[in-house]
């Protein structure tokens, strides 16, 4: 089987990104999954067991002192070197901020064909075919690459499979990174991640709050319901703009796109741009004071009412049931 390269993102603290399992699973459907990482010299060895458990048949480690100081360039060099050495049938990258840039630059270098934001991928008679969810899920689109190496960015949280564990063989190379053509990292400000609550992307349940919550303090209500349901916390752009929550929580056209089993919209009017980020949810619940709020047009269960009376009652009912 032909090699399929998977770009594995490593956090500033050395952790393998949570997008890795889905990418390796997608690669296993297309060929032999090869995990490609860029690390500081000597730091790659600690990743072998975890990547093997996630299904990497082979690990290609590019080492460079520039990891952590030059923006994206060491990662690009690692993937370029692997693409040159391993004659891959395809390259899979997360549709993340870093991943998109690596994929974009690699596509130019290899004169490959770039497919962005796929939600699924399959091989049909040797041809790589990607599925997309376009215009907020209004369309399902299939695409392929006419010529050249197919390079795909995969939407985070879209693929839930996991590949069978493997015992990977490891190749380590030293990378030459040209600092001249690279942006330089000055400081990393990653917050301490709240591990208790599921991450928004790929969450099975999401509770989102909007401007209707009224203040940052009162937005806690959204978190309380999320915790009662075991859900991730999201928000409308209006709530983010008002400073209730960080931008990483934004659901919608210009934020995160979610497709959970359950989406609960609290105090969100449901502008078309918000609906574009959540309307493929299996079940949608909306609570809003305004009976004419457009969110009710897509809600399976809508309540015209005050979130500050309905939600506490709901939380009590959930807790009573749990006991």
Among residue numbers 35 through 94, which ones bind another protein (CB under 8 A)? Answer: 71-72
Query: With contact defined as beta carbons under 8 Å apart, do 180 and 83 qualify?
Result: no
By the rule CB under 8 A, 194 interacts with another protein: no
Distance CA 66, CA 38 (A): 10
Report the site for another protein in 134-163 (rule: CB under 8 A). Answer: 134-135, 137-150, 153
Segment near another protein (CB under 8 A); pick from 46-54, 58-66, 168-176, 298-306: 298-306
Distance CA 277, CA 136 (A): 6
Distance CA 281, CA 258 (A): 7
Chosen residue from 87, 291, 292, 323 binding another protein by CB under 8 A: 291
Distance CA 1, CA 4 (A): 9
To another protein, the closest distance from the beta carbon of 279 in angstroms equals: 6
To another protein, the closest distance from the beta carbon of 5 in angstroms equals: 15
Q: Which residues contact 316 (CB under 8 A, 6 or more apart)?
A: none
To another protein, the closest distance from the beta carbon of 102 in angstroms equals: 8
- Taking residues 200 to 219 in sequence order and writing x for each that binds another protein by CB under 8 A, - otherwise, the string is -----x--------------
Q: Which residues contact 97 (CB under 8 A, 6 or more apart)?
A: none
Segment near another protein (CB under 8 A); pick from 24-32, 44-52, 54-62, 272-280: 272-280
By the rule CB under 8 A, 306 interacts with another protein: yes
By the rule CB under 8 A, 302 interacts with another protein: yes
By the rule CB under 8 A, 314 interacts with another protein: yes
By the rule CB under 8 A, 174 interacts with another protein: no
Q: Which residues contact 190 (CB under 8 A, 6 or more apart)?
A: 11, 12, 13
Chosen residue from 87, 125, 176, 186 binding another protein by CB under 8 A: 186
Residue whose CB is less far from another protein, 94 or 168: 94
Closest to 170 in 3D by CA, of 267, 43, 295, 266 = 43
Distance CA 68, CA 75 (A): 10
Indicate the SS3 state at residue 118: strand
What is the torsional sign of CA 224, 226, 228, 230? negative
Residue whose CB is less far from another protein, 98 or 223: 98
Distance CA 314, CA 92 (A): 42
Residue whose CB is less far from another protein, 57 or 265: 265
Q: How many residues bind another protein (CB under 8 A)?
A: 93
Query: With contact defined as beta carbons under 8 Å apart, do 279 and 137 qualify?
Result: yes
Residue whose CB is less far from another protein, 146 or 217: 146
Chosen residue from 87, 190, 217, 292 binding another protein by CB under 8 A: 190
- Tokens for 153? 């960015």
To another protein, the closest distance from the beta carbon of 174 in angstroms equals: 22
By the rule CB under 8 A, 191 interacts with another protein: yes
Query: With contact defined as beta carbons under 8 Å apart, do 206 and 197 qualify?
Result: no
Query: With contact defined as beta carbons under 8 Å apart, do 119 and 201 qualify?
Result: no
Residue whose CB is less far from another protein, 3 or 95: 95
Segment near another protein (CB under 8 A); pick from 21-29, 39-47, 162-170, 304-312: 304-312
- Taking residues 88 to 127 in sequence order and writing x for each that binds another protein by CB under 8 A, - otherwise, the string is -------xxxx-xx-xxx-xxxxxxxxxxx----------
Distance CA 204, CA 230 (A): 9
């Amino acid at each position: 089987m032909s090699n399929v390269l998977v770009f594995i993102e490593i956090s500033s603290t050395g952790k393998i990104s949570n997008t890795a399992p889905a990418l390796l699973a997608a690669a296993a459907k297309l060929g032999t999954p090869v995990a490609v990482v860029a690390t500081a010299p000597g730091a790659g060895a600690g990743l072998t067991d975890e990547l093997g458990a996630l299904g990497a048949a082979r690990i290609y480690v590019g080492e460079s002192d520039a990891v952590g100081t030059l923006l994206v360039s060491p990662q690009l060099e690692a993937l370029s070197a692997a693409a040159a050495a391993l004659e891959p049938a395809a390259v899979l990258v997360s549709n993340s901020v870093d991943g998109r840039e690596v994929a974009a630059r690699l596509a130019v270098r290899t004169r490959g064909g770039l497919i962005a934001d796929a939600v699924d991928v399959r091989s049909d008679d040797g041809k790589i075919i990607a599925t997309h969810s376009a215009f907020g899920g209004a369309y399902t689109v299939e695409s392929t690459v006419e010529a050249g190496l197919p390079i795909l960015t995969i939407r985070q949280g879209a693929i839930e499979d996991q590949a069978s564990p493997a015992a990977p063989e490891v190749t380590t190379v030293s990378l030459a990174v040209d600092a001249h053509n690279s942006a330089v990292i000055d400081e990393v400000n990653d917050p301490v991640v709240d591990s208790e609550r599921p991450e928004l992307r790929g969450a099975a349940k999401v509770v989102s709050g909007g401007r209707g919550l009224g203040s940052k303090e009162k937005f806690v209500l959204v978190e309380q319901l999320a915790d009662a349901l075991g859900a991730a916390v999201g928000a409308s752009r209006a709530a983010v703009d008002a400073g209730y929550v960080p931008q990483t929580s934004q659901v919608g056209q210009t934020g995160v796109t979610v497709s959970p089993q359950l989406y609960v919209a609290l105090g969100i009017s449901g502008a078309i741009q918000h609906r574009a980020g959540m309307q493929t949810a299996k079940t949608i619940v909306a609570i809003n004071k305004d009976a004419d709020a457009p969110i009710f047009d897509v809600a399976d269960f809508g309540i015209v009412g005050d979130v500050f009376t309905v939600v506490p009652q709901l939380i009590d009912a959930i807790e009573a049931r749990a006991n």
